[in-house]
Structure 1
Amino acid sequence: MNLQERINAFVTLGKFLGQFSDPFDTATEVDTEIVEAQEAIPFFEIFYDGMLQQLELAGNHNGWFTSENLQFTCNSWSEALSEENLQKWVAAYDFSASEASEKTKTIAIIMAGNIPMVGFHDFLSVLISGHKVLAKLSSKDNQLLPYLAKYLVEIEPKFEPYISFTKEKLENFDAVIATGSDNSSRYFDYYFGKYPHIIRKNRNSVAVLTGKETPQQMEALADDIFRYFGLGCRNVSKIYLPKGYEMDRFFNGMFSWKEMINNNKYINNYDYNKAVYLMSGFDLLDNEFLLLKESEDHSSPISVIYYEYYNDLSELKIKLEAEKEKIQLIVANAGLNKEIPFGKAQQPELWDYADGIDTLQFLVNITSE
């Protein structure tokens, strides 16, 4: 199977996922457009109902996987898996060696389960590079990817011997990509350190405000904070504020996500954290669905954002550089190194690698080992 065949398969998978990006609209005109789009997708009629069932199962199995977040996930991957994006992504790499059968490696992928299909990028990276996937799924997110793998094999049968899932001990693999907490990373290091590996630890994302942000930018920051209930490593869990910052500007932006108060799991965390902090005598800022607590830490609980004041932006740049191993990304409009725009935290490009580790280059390199 050559690279273009692999790209074609994932482009089709992207189109398939795109049909689950929004709630179904029963308007006649929209129905016609939907039906026409679906008819152009191979095997759609076979897999459509099954995908709806898997989405429902995923939501029932994990209360954090709401319909809105599942639709957002499908839409994000549908947009990412365009022909243009995939070609741009792979253009810088040479996969010719891994396409030779004697050079193909089996890559064990240990996936997290904090947000829907969080391990899909690793799954995609291994297959697009010509290697084989041996995936161990998180119990929190084990419905969607196996079903999408079945669809991928249906549209490109050559993928069948390249994809396997296991619930047992990982065996017969050549390299490892593992994602987990700081504690689990120590376990991964112990068991998999002798193999070529990428082992990701806990990271969090931060935002730097200058006080000059527009209301639109602040609403976009709310997306960076609340999407997936803040459970992703790309979600903003801490903000840096200039001394004298007017907190109303921040809270006004957060108001666009006020419906969070209607989610029982989220509001239970809010009530619990508020009670614990108040009983401990901590000073809090509160808008009735989000707590702000001053802290030098980065990893805040659900429903809580840490904040820290800074005096000088140049000094903050030095501080952030010193703490870069703890930070996934920086959301800002302040001229900081590698900052990303507000609202883009949970909309990564294919080439935006977790922890800044080039997964495709890793996969190219192991071919020669």
Structure 2
Amino acid sequence: MLTQEPNKKLRFFKREFQQFYKTELRRGLTEAENVRKKFVKTFWVYIALTIADIIALILYFLLARYFYNIIGDNCFTAIALVLTFAPFALFALFLKMYSKYKCNINILVISKLITFFKNFKPENYRLHILPTDILNSWLFHDIENIKNDEYFSGTYKNSDICVSSSKVTKSGIYGAEWWFNGTMAMFGFNKIFPTPLIIRSKKFYWNNTMAKILLIYTPVILSLIIIFSIIFSYAVRSQPIEIAALALGCSLMFVPAIYYAFYLLGKIFKKYRTRTTHVSSKYLEITPEFNKNWNVYTYDKKSAIDFLTPQLAEKLVKIQKLMPFTPIDCSRFEDKFIIAVYSRRFFGTTPFFIPLTSYRNLYNQALRMYMLFDLLEEISAL
């Protein structure tokens, strides 16, 4: 249970944030909100172009079939291909624009929110999440590439903090896979911790990129096969339903077979590195609620018990409750502490249909910042 003191602090935080939102934050996000509205208009333009393309494809097919009888010609095939794949090109272009928009808006919103915390002082040169830090944290192994898009960095009550959107990937025979794709916060202290400590989430995280891609794009590929089967079956004067069914059946067998073939080849030829994610097999019991979410690994049991106090465990549990279905891993090493949240939505902006000035969404983001600073303060006091 939460004690009365944290509840009092949280009520004070909420009251102060409401005042900050009314007097500064809402007005400060006016420019960003105008950018969002323009982007929504751009989105509807892409939707209109996609619908127009689909209608043009249907009309083109009907005219070619029943008025000009040119189905099967090379010219017909080329135009049909262009019209069919144009929506996917538009979608790819929109995704690129959306990625840039989201990155810029995230930085702008967070830069406004962070001014609410008076004890935070932005100092970009103090602390950054480096590849060596992620390797030394022992949270991941077999790493090939690390990419960080920093949200903010600086000091909070004489302790360093850096928060970024991070992606930790490895390379396999069947393409890149990510170990981690989410939000990472690192605290820096003026003391050295005696031994490494790993706090590993018990929640499931699917990090197989290839399987995700197949799951997302297989229906799209199958629909394209069916569409072209129907179109070209008319060209050879065959029954479209029979050809579509045959194409669908072959695809359902072919796509998983290709994936599992690459998967097995990857298992056979992959060179595993010796680095392990578990520092030790010693398991620690902290509190019942903490134990539901995490396993703890360390060389030094006494040091871990001294570090993982009930107060610290409670603060980690509260952060977990903000995103109850998302794995959260932690690592204490050298003079640093890393908390890795397996979701970019931890500090992500709202969907672009929701106003950026929405109080509820801004409060949720500010609450997550407050929880991180509260955790930092607790660790620095140990």
Please report the TM-score for the alignment, with normalisation by the length of structure 1: 0.27
Taking CA–CA contacts closer than 8 Å with sequence separation of 6 or more, which of the two structures ends up with the larger relative contact order? 2
Please report the TM-score for the alignment, with normalisation by the length of structure 2: 0.26
